[in-house]
């Protein structure tokens, strides 16, 4: 019975840690977006925009911003296939990486201490954040019905 209790505790802690890592890793991407768009609300502005910003994605991007999300989604898919990324350990949604933000120039730099997989994922997020910074946000594309994404 004691062994079962220990096993249960390990499973609960592991699941909580994994969920916490997911939040922390996505927080890195959020902070990158804030580096280039300091007055934005990334969790709200990009969580359900167009056909690709947010969970899932299909069809033709509705504008440049949506295209940024499509490219970012593909980059994460490529990271999952990257030879230096281990499928479960190096998930783009949970991988931590080193980067810096030059707020004055709105420039993001991925750190040289990153291993190849961390660098690949960091570059996915950097490129997407900088793309968001160049692309206008159109309120008509927020909460777009899925039937418009053909």
pTM: 0.81
pLDDT reported for residue 62: 96
Domain locations in the chain as residue ranges: 2-148
40-56 in b/e burial notation, b at 16+ Cβ within 10 A? bebeebbeebbbbbeee
Residues 6+ apart with CB under 8 A from 70: 51, 52, 57, 61
Per-residue confidence in pLDDT tens, the chain, 150 aa: 444 333 332 232 233 334 344 565 678 999 999 999 999 988 888 889 999 998 878 999 999 999 999 999 999 999 999 999 987 788 898 889 999 999 999 999 999 999 999 999 999 999 999 999 999 999 999 999 988 998
Tokens of 80: 């999952």
| Under 8 Å between Cβ of 144 and 50 | yes
Query: What is the DSSP track for 30-43?
Result: HHHHHHH-TT--HH
- Distance (Å, rounded) from C-alpha 84 to C-alpha 87? 9
Report the chain's terminal Cα–Cα distance, integer Å. 54
- Distance (Å, rounded) from C-alpha 39 to C-alpha 132? 13
- Distance (Å, rounded) from C-alpha 127 to C-alpha 132? 9
Q: Is 2-148 in CATH node 1.20.90.10?
A: yes
pLDDT reported for residue 24: 58
Active site residues: 72, 125
| Under 8 Å between Cβ of 61 and 70 | yes
């Amino acid at each position: 019975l004691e062994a079962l209790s220990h096993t249960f505790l390990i499973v609960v802690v592991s699941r909580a840690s994994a969920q916490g890592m997911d939040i922390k890793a996505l927080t890195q991407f959020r902070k990158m977006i804030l580096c280039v768009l300091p007055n934005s609300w990334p969790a709200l502005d990009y969580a359900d925009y167009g056909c690709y910003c947010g969970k899932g994605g299909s069809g033709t991007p509705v504008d440049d911003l949506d295209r940024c999300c499509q490219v970012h989604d593909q980059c994460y898919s490529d990271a999952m296939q990257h030879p230096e990324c281990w499928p479960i350990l190096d998930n783009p949604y949970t991988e931590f990486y080193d980067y810096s933000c030059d707020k004055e120039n709105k420039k993001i730099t991925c750190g040289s201490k990153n291993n190849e997989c961390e660098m690949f994922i960091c570059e996915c997020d950097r490129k997407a954040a900088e793309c968001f910074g160049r692309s206008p946000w159109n309120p008509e594309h927020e909460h777009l019905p899925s039937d418009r994404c053909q």
